[in-house]
Amino acid sequence: MAFSDYFALTKPKIVPLLLMAALGSSVVAARTIPSPSVLIGVLVGGATASAGALALNSYLEMGMDAKMKRTMGRPLPSGRIVPPRNALALGLGLVVLGVIVASLTLNVLGTFFIALGAFIYVPVYTLLLKPRTSWNIVLGGFAGSCAALAGWYAVTWSGAAVGWILGALVFVWTPSHFWSLAVITEEDYSAVGVPMLPSVVGPQAASRYIVVNTLLLIPVSLLLAFYLSGLGLFVYLGVAAVFGVLLLWTNIKLLRKPTKSNAWLAFKFSSPYLAVVFLAAMAAAVLHG
């Protein structure tokens, strides 16, 4: 039992993307760096609650993880955390702590969306949707949208349309990202009976869904341009358009040849795509002033 094992329960590669969405939305809402209390609530509270939700996901899926090649080496299925209820306690504690930090530093809506994100990810996505429907990641993607909405509403309750555009950006990005990974791990999901889209329809059909989803993602990302002007508008449009086309190129390459290597390329590019687009949104909002 080591700190690194408990840290791994929180899936630390996912949390930074959620924080980027939350921070990006708060900067766009404020058109500058938000106040220290907002930063603490959004970053510390959001990161803690998200880490807790991810740890609970690790606990609830440890039986499934033990049967999948990609995940059997994780701390719980490999037996490195004993007893397993320690992971349950960690997850619950982090979610509660994160919501408390948010409630002490953010307004009601900012706190609400941080709590809602954890709720959607654990009981709604992990327990209800994932084992039952191939639409699991589509509907469960709203958990990530809650990070963007928390960042927006922590700053202002006005201009809600822009906040929801940022939330929609995360929502529509999620399937392209996770379906690409699921193409790689198709056999694992089939073995444990999880109806992830590629294991239900096959890699070729799933690749078509990924392309269609990205064709929807690109115009959603460009909607933010209506909120910007001047140099900020050109900065954002340039970055969003270029990275959208590059993401689409990786998806089309996967469609033409649905191999695991091409799926890995699409998956790996989709992670920086979201971070770069939110960084561009932050830069554009500050330039917009």
- All structural domains of the chain, each given as residue ranges with its CATH number in brackets, are 1-157 (1.10.357.140), 159-289 (1.20.120)
Q: How far is CA 220 from CA 73, 217, 245, 281, in A?
A: 38, 5, 13, 13
What pLDDT band is residue 2 in, cutting at 50, 70 and 90?
A: confident
* pTM, full prediction: 0.95
Are residues 250 and 258 in contact, defined by beta-carbon separation less than 8 angstroms?
Answer: no
pLDDT tens across 72-117, in order? 999 999 999 999 999 999 999 999 999 999 999 999 999 999 999 9
Q: What pLDDT shows up at residue 54?
A: 98
CA distance 198 to 192: 14
Q: Above pLDDT 70, what percent of the chain? A: 99
Q: What pLDDT shows up at residue 1?
A: 54
Mean per-residue pLDDT, 246-254: 98
Task: Give the range among 37-41, 68-72, 219-223, 244-248 with minimum mean pLDDT.
Answer: 68-72
Average pLDDT, the chain: 95
The pLDDT of residue 215 is above 60: yes
CB atoms within 10 A of CB 242: 12
